[in-house]
Amino acid sequence: MSVEARFGLLHDRVFADGTEYEVRRGRHGFHLIVDPDGAAGRVHYDGWRDRLSIDSPHGSLEIRFRWRHTTFPWRGRVYRVGSTLGSRVRVFEGDRRVLEGKETWSGIRFDVISPEFRDIARELAVGFGLRTQAFATAIILAAGAH
């Protein structure tokens, strides 16, 4: 399974196993991933607090990023976000890699998705993609200030 979130000037999309899903920009920075079945996942990235919140029909999740040792619970297990340097995003359970993705020009693509994250893979791709965009914007603004 592969999931890719793409962000554009006018609209955002998620591709999962060859199917395109619309991502609607909502109020207060929320992004809604619309499923043709009627269910919708809701994603919010708070850049000031470096916090990712996901509400989906499969459950809710919040990741509070730290400089080191970022962990979060999901379905009774604790996962660790690895270093995001070098345009890679990795999530581990112990030493086992459960999620791995790479930043792209327009977002992020996850190529390694363990079964426990398949239900919220689209939401995770949008969330980590929003975080990547926020970092890129901050770097560009900082470079322009000097």
Q: Are 131 and 107 in contact (CB under 8 A)?
A: no
pTM strictly above 0.85: yes
Q: How many CA atoms lie within 13 A of 32 on its CB side?
A: 11
Q: Are 18 and 11 in contact (CB under 8 A)?
A: no
Q: Write the DSSP symbol of residue 101.
A: E
To the nearest 10°, the Cα dihedral for 62, 121, 23, 11? 110
* Assigned token pair, 56: 């989906």
Handedness of CA 107, 68, 55, 117 (dihedral sign): positive
* Assigned token pair, 105: 């020009």
Which tens digits make up the pLDDT trace of 27-46? 988 999 988 777 789 999 99
What pLDDT is attached to residue 97? 96
Confidence of residue 133 (pLDDT cuts 50, 70, 90): confident
